[in-house]
Structure 1
Amino acid sequence: MNSILKYALIAAALGAVVPAHAHRAWMLPSATVLSGEDPWITVDAAVSNNLFNFEHFPLRLSGIGETASANKAANERTPSQLQITAPDGTQLAGENGNTGRYRTTFDVHLIQKGTYKLALENARLMATYTENGERGRWIGELEDLQANLPGSADDIEVVQSNSRMEVFVTSGKPTETVFQTTGEGLEITPLTHPNDLYAGETAEFVFTIDGEPAADIDVNIIPGGNRYRDELGEMTLKTNADGKVDITWPAAGMYWLEAELDTTEGVAPPVTRRRASYSATLEVMAL
């Protein structure tokens, strides 16, 4: 094989693999710590190769007020329901929502004092199979699975997936009401308040899966602005037996945190694999 063809094949193989890992979904608030009597934030939501840059497609959201659908072709997935939890536990709606070519934006009026949580949660069941030598796929609810699988299907894999994306914003004094967990999927319990993070200091977070400690899972932390760096600057840590991870922030700025669980343990047929993920955008202040 000549060298030109060899490197062309390598590049093609990398091109088929890298985008699946490089595209990251995120929400970016204009601020995470605010004061004053009538504060607002604006939030950008997108999927991109470079963190917090708009260059791939928008996150389509519902629950953000009037939304323009200028670019449905860029992201045909069903919009995710945005959940905004106020410090007293009540649910709010986003305002002034708009979906453009590369990002979705919306505003949040922080009427109450305390900590708010902005969250996107998704759960789905996906089955893949082989029928007459060709691969097929079906996505739906567990109770509808058997009725939608071909009778001659082989090599069936059924994946139960849960994903959660969160942002925390505080107006005035931090509170902790929004940290209550549901006991479903991969969740975080902050031992250090996520709006009290400082460069050079160590924050402690506990991860749980279905309410139990998520031990020995990878937690990846990437600083924003990787478009302007030669290296990603990623930190990869592991939770301990209690699901706890300690993160020492190297510098001030916006960070994207992600944890994932991919396992065949503890699943009940017909499910063959369980996948759960958690991500958050965090702001680290300078001392």
Structure 2
Amino acid sequence: MNLKLLAVTAAATLALAGPAQAHKAWLQPSQTVFSEKGSWMTVDAAVSNDLFYFNHVPLALERLQVTAPDGSSVQAQNGATGKLRSVFDLQLQQEGTYKIAMNNEGMFASYKLGGEAKRWRGKASEFKSGIPAGATEVSASESLGRVETFATVGKPTTTVFKTSGKGIELVPVTHPNDLFAGEAASFQLLIDGKPASGLKIEIVPGATRYRNQQDEINLTTGADGKFEVKWPQAGMYWLETTSEDNKTTLPDAKQRRLSYVAVFEVLPQ
């Protein structure tokens, strides 16, 4: 399997991963708050066992989407994919908040061929050709996953939080670039544009390589899809939530698997 295919496979896998999954997908910005237009930031993109260290596979840059404060798309610069991570630069030319995201929409299938269990991952358009003739006990799921982080130049704005009404999406009550140690922040999660009640959320601070415990924060959304977290200390934090239902939009899929990941920077007071 070549590096590009490995990265794409890893990105597809993240859409199926639950909070208990050892491998974590993430976008880690060099920093998230800037005072001047024209500032540069660098972002690492990887799937790893530890936060935020490169010890598994990169995320594929083909899936990268950067949205500027005015809603326009921004092209990343100096993108490169290595054995363990992808990396790219962004020059922030506008005041306000940017969204940096990797979105995965595809399918996952299991089947048997000659009595042996097999698995397949890929785009929905490739499903029929991807399952070999003679396969039995074919079971397919639709997958939709998002990995996001945010950066702000000057005053925070909210244009980039416009929702699509598809899959799990984050709506900030507290702006994600206005987070401070010791203070509480509130967010809302939606599924298909509606408040997602009862979603299990895991939040893990970075630098897990250098401690024996994950120190995870486990939360559950309320009836309005909202949750609140009080940040114990400054640093980078990784958030994940997942969900499953049968609201698939693909005729060959019987189940839908959703995931959402975000990386936040919490600053000292």
Q: TM-score range by the shorter chain?
A: 0.7 to 0.9
Structure with the greater relative contact order (CA < 8 A, sep ≥ 6): 1 or 2?
2
Instruction: Give the structure 1 partner of residue 13 of structure 2.
Output: none
CA distance in 2, matches of 1:91, 1:102: 27
Code of the aligned partner of 2:211: R
Calculate percent identity across the aligned residue pairs: 48
SS at match of 1:173: coil
What's the Cα RMSD here?
A: 2.0
Instruction: Give the structure 2 partner of residue 278 of structure 1.
Output: 260
Structure 1: which 5+ residue stretches go unaligned?
1-19, 63-80
SS at match of 1:227: helix
The answer to which of 82-91 and 98-107 deviates more is 98-107
Residue in structure 2 matching 1:122, options 82, 104, 115: 104
CA distance in 1, matches of 2:134, 2:237: 47
Instruction: Give the structure 2 partner of residue 221 of structure 1.
Output: 203
Aligned residue-pair number: 249
Instruction: Give the structure 2 partner of residue 260 of structure 1.
Output: 242
Residue in structure 2 matching 1:200, options 173, 182, 189: 182
Code of the aligned partner of 1:55: N
Code of the aligned partner of 2:239: L
Contact 2:37–2:94, Cα closer than 8 Å, also in 1: no
Measured after TM superposition, the shift of residue 131 of structure 1 is 3.6
Code of the aligned partner of 1:202: A
Structure 2: which 5+ residue stretches go unaligned?
1-19
Instruction: Give the structure 2 partner of residue 50 of structure 1.
Output: 50
Measured after TM superposition, the shift of residue 153 of structure 1 is 4.1
CA distance in 2, matches of 1:53, 1:143: 34
Residue in structure 1 matching 2:69, options 87, 90, 95: 87
SS at match of 1:22: coil
Code of the aligned partner of 1:252: A
Measured after TM superposition, the shift of residue 136 of structure 1 is 3.1
CA distance in 2, matches of 1:286, 1:151: 58
Measured after TM superposition, the shift of residue 266 of structure 1 is 3.8
Measured after TM superposition, the shift of residue 142 of structure 1 is 4.6
User: Does 2:208 match 1:230?
Assistant: no
Measured after TM superposition, the shift of residue 87 of structure 1 is 0.4
Structure number with greater Rg is 1
